[in-house]
């Protein structure tokens, strides 16, 4: 009996959701890209905060140790989507507002008010 791929549901800035299947060993960000979602990203190595999301439900495992999202941030639910894989189905909030909340000093100048 084959095991189904876990799904990740994204809560997006526009109030919509999008759900993607994540293959074994695939990062959440790569699965989102494959599904055609246009999510902010940068280095794709866990060294910046561009792809950070907030874990709403479920759990993730890391392909490698994140460098930009500290242990304290990870304990609060922040996730480097480029190097994370879901450990079962999960939900992630992903928007520019999430970035400003997680890393205000880095993203404070990001214009999130006019992103309608």
Distance, CA of 49 to CA of 33 (rounded, Å): 17
- Do 29 and 80 form a contact (C-beta atoms < 8 A)? no
Assess if residue 2 is contained within a domain.
Answer: no
> Which uninterrupted H or E stretch holds 99?
helix 96-102
Q: What is the pLDDT, as a whole number, of residue 13?
A: 87
pTM of this structure: 0.85
Is 114 contained in some domain? no
112 located within any domain: no
What pLDDT was estimated at residue 96?
Answer: 79
Residue 52 lies in a domain: yes
The DSSP element (H or E) to which 68 belongs, if any, is none
Does some domain include residue 113?
Answer: no
- Indicate the SS3 state at residue 32: helix
Total of domains in the chain: 1
Whichever domain contains 75, its CATH number is 3.10.20.30
Only one residue has tokens 């304290």, namely 72
Task: From first to last of the 116 residues of the chain, give the pLDDT tens digit.
Answer: 446 899 999 999 899 999 999 999 999 999 999 999 999 888 999 888 889 999 999 999 999 999 988 899 899 999 999 999 999 999 999 987 877 777 887 777 766 544 43
């Amino acid at each position: 009996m084959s095991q189904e791929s876990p799904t990740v549901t994204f809560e997006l800035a526009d109030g919509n959701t999008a759900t993607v299947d994540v293959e074994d060993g695939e990062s959440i960000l790569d699965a989102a890209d494959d599904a055609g979602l246009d999510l902010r990203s940068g280095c794709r190595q866990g060294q910046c905060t561009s792809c950070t999301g907030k874990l709403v439900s479920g759990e993730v495992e890391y392909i490698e140790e994140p460098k930009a999202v500290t242990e304290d941030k990870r304990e609060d639910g922040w996730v480097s989507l480029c190097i994370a894989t879901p450990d079962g189905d999960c939900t992630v909030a992903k928007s520019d507002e999430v970035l400003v909340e997680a890393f205000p000093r880095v993203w404070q100048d990001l214009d999130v008010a006019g992103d309608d």
